Amino acid sequence: MSNTNPSSNDLMSQLRDIHTPDPVSWWPLAPGWWILMLLVIGAIVTLFILFKRSRRPSPSLAYAEQQLQLLQSKSSNKENLVEALHLLRRFAMNHFPKELTARMPLLTLAKTIAATNQITLNSSSLKLLNNAHYAPNVSVSNEQWQDLLNDLKQLIQSLSRVTQQPATQVAMVNALKQAGEANV
C-alpha cells in the first residue's frame, strides 16, 4: 500500500534540484587580511629604515675624520695641538653626556676610552694629552704629532662604534662616571 496520493506527487514535482553554494575562494581577501598585510609591510619598511640609519656613519664621525686629515697636513705646533685635542673633547661631548666629558681632563678621558675599547695609546701621545695644551712653550716633533693624530683617530673611531652598541655605550658612560668621580 502506498501513501502516495496525487497531490503529494504534484508537490514533489514542483521542487527544484539542490544547488550547492559556490566554493569559498582565497581571492579576493577579506578587509581584515588587507589591513594585516599593510601593517606587516609597514613594520618591515620601518625596521629596514631603522637598520639602514644605524649602519650609516654619523656625520660627526665624518667631520672628525675630515678635521684629522686637515691636521695631518699641518705642521706640529702648539696651535694645531690645541685644535687636535679640542677635536677629541668635542667629539666625546657630542656622543656622551656633556657634564661627564666637559670637566674631565683630556688624559683621563683618553685613558678611559682606550681602556674601555682595548686601545693602546702611545706614550708620547699620553704626555701631550696630559698637559701640553696648557704649557706655554711646547715643542712637538713630527713623529709625536703623527702618533697623536693616529691615537686620536683610533679613539674617535672607537667612540663612534661604542655609540652604535647600546650595551657598550652604557659601559662607557659608567666608566666615564667612575673616572670623573676619581678626578673630583
pLDDT on residue 1: 47
Task: Enter the C-alpha cell of residue 83.
Answer: 685644535
Predicted TM-score (pTM) of the model is: 0.64
The predicted model gives 15-42 an average pLDDT of 89
Q: pLDDT category, 184, cuts 50, 70, 90? A: low
Domain residue ranges of the chain, discontinuous segments joined by +: 28-57, 59-183
Instruction: State the burial class of residue 148 (Cβ atoms within 10 Å of its Cβ: 0-12, 13-18, 19+).
Output: buried
pLDDT in tens, 67-107: 999 999 988 888 888 899 999 999 888 888 888 888 888 88
Distance, in Å, from the CA atom of 162 to the CA atom of 94, rounded to the nearest integer, reads 13
